[in-house]
Amino acid sequence: MFSLINKTAVVTGGGSGIGRAIATAFAKQGAVVHIIELEETNAAETLQDIDAAGGKAFAYSCNVGDQQKVAETFNAIGNMHILVNCAGIAHVGKADTTSSEDFEKVFTVNVKGTYNCLHEAIPVFKKVGGGVILNVASIAALVGIPDRFAYSMSKGAVFAMTLSVAKDYLQDHIRCNSISPARIHTPFVDGFIAKNYPGKEAEMFEKLSKSQPIGRMGTVEEIATLALYLCSDEAGFVTGNDYPIDGGFIKLNN
């Protein structure tokens, strides 16, 4: 089950965190994985992991917010069957404390970056007879999260784009879903805690872990497993849906 043999997958943000776990899982299942990543060092590390496991992958240095660069990258990749839009950045702030520059930066990467990749991938999917798109949204698209104004805006847009694309391309055999993680333990989380709570790292890690009713953060491998299912042929009847993977955050956090 969940074989991706003879599939070509593109994973944006595949150099670290959730993106790296998804790229690695897809390669393990037989896909040829093309990683689009801004940080070349991170991309190289993902390639090493995949190569060591006997998989096949390629990496491209690309800012997903740059439409011309995205077009050039997708032209270099060629035919593909799966697109995972995982590249994204976070931001802490409320509406009145978020600068115009920070708002536009989050929008450019998280919203325009997703659009740029959709814009290039969909014609390819039409040419090859269909495809699968998975967008990484967030619980911030579905519930109010304190001090995450710009980030929530961007992930709400990702959720809305998912529904629109799923509806528009049914007849082209293109499936499109999204996943909405709660807090996942990644290097970004560790860096965020170290930067904002020096000397209180262990205390804050425990507090953030317990914000999920299940009592811990999710793992990147858990996210990758859900992504694998949604991008596999076994999920052929699934489109136009968002899947919270949140340790009970949305429904049980009261």
Active-site residues, by number, are 151
The torsion region of residue 142 among left (phi > 0), alpha (psi -120 to 50) and beta comes to alpha
CB crowding 58-80: b at 16 or more within 10 Å, else e: bbbebbbbbbebbeebbeebeeb
Torsion of CA 100, 105, 107, 108, to 10 degrees: 130
d(CA 122, CA 226): 22
First-to-last alpha carbon distance for the chain, in angstroms, is 37
Share of the chain residues as helix, strand and coil, in percent rounded to the nearest 5: 50, 15, 30
Rounded to 5 degrees, φ, ψ at 178 are -135, 160
CB atoms within 10 A of CB 191: 10
Per-residue DSSP letter, 110:
I
d(CA 253, CA 193): 22
Q: Residue 140's Cα: distance from chain center in Å?
A: 14
